[in-house]
Amino acid sequence: MTPPAKNENSVRLWGGRFTGEMDPLMDQYNESLSFDRVFYAQDIKGSIAYARANLKAGILTQEEFEMLEEGLKKVLREWDEGKFQPAPGDEGEVIGTKVAGKLHTGRSRNDQIATDMRMWLRDELNLIEELLIDLLKVVAQRAKQDIDYIMPSYTHLQRAQPIRWSHWLLSYATAFQSDLERLRFTKRNINKLPLGSGAVAGNAFGIDRMQMAKELGFEGLIMNSMSAVGDRDFVVEVLQCASTIGSHLSRWSEDLIIYSSSEFGYIKLADAYTTGSSLMPQKKNSDSLELLRGKSGRIFGAMAGLMMSIKGIPSTYNKDLQESLQPMLDTVKTLKDGLQIAARSLATATVYPDKMRAALSPDMLATDLAEYLVRKGVPFRETHHLAGKMVALAEDENKGMNELSIEQFQGIDKRFGNDVLSVFDYERSVELKDAIGGTSRRAVLEQLEALKKTLGV
């Protein structure tokens, strides 16, 4: 980790080459401790594993290793208790300068920070996975609870066909489930150890990298030392995964913002996730959802910015890679917060099924009318045309299609029978969509069971 500025360049691991003092502005510009300090637990665990590897390689004696391990654990306790203030030479103060100096044998900040980042991300992605599962559980709970609610579906933001509210909920569950699968794949890619690669060419003391990987919970090694220290693709991959989750949260939020408006009135958010207007007393703004929608752009911007930072740098480590820290930390926090807000907003929202049903209209059953004739053996291309003529007639008459007479139907086509008005039943319409993935009760319950199986509940 980059230490704060000091006049004595000797305190820097790289200070022997330099005799002049660093420009304070450059020192501040170069500083990364404010970001690196978040990795303290991972850094200390990695240092203990590295010390153990140096013990087995003969660099440390058993006594020296025990001194290092005891000192590092003391530092960890002080960090956990909020008592530790990092400064140059801390290891020497806690452990002893001579012994502490041996810890760095064969290790570079390059492989050290890359290891810290992967360990930290692994821990954080475990938390994000739990939060994503929590959101999916809330969706599943509401889908089961609200399964009888029927609402309009929309394409091009125009009313399309009747569906169950639960079917809409599960459409986003499908997206979030895909996000969960991508997240798990990303976790596996991250969980490879760079430690033991040195600055660029590898370790000269024959340390056992496989043993370090096992101790630190890694599933394998990065096999090339140059790749190990120069790679930040794992951060990009996390940000890409987060961007996709953010995109889905944004679209989900947009739907709910629309549904919560007075013009729709399908849902109302709890007071805990809304704000009022500083001027208009009647306002109740869906700020939680609007922030979810807005912060998705922030996540995507972090991903795009990092990709631009690393796309043209030469191989192995360059200081440009330090720019991976801030977007990574910000994105992880933004995503964790967002997933919790999304789950809580949905869990506490009030749904108004009467408003949903009132938004249904007979013209939304025009496809059902066409399918009515299909069941009588009429080709769909022809039935589509005939159903369209019935829509036009109802508009001319300023009536709902269900208000037209049998004679008017048969005036368009004699194959409309006396039972044609049975088509205009919203419950019947959704129940007919019974194939896998449809909006019938059985199909929705089937989707729910598949989701629960994925979640292990």
Q: How far apart are CA 210 and CA 196, in angstroms?
A: 10
Query: Do the Cβ atoms of 256 and 351 come closer than 8 Å?
Result: no
156 is catalytic: yes
The whole-angstrom separation of Cα 224 and Cα 406 is 78
Residue with tokens 């820290």: 325
From the DSSP assignment, how many helices (H) and strands (E) are in the chain? 19, 6
Integer Rg of the chain from CA: 31
Question: Can 104 be counted among the known catalytic residues?
Answer: no
Q: Which amino acid is at 31?
A: E
In this structure, what token pair is assigned to residue 177? 């489930």
Tokens of 204: 């000269």
State both tokens at 252.
Answer: 């989900």
* Catalytic option among 34, 277, 405, 422: 277
Alpha helices of 404-440 — where are they, by DSSP H? 406-412, 426-432
Q: In this structure, which amino acid lies at residue 298?
A: R
Cβ distance 332 to 344 under 8 Å?
A: no
- The SS3 of residue 158 is strand
Q: Write out the catalytic residue numbers.
A: 156, 277
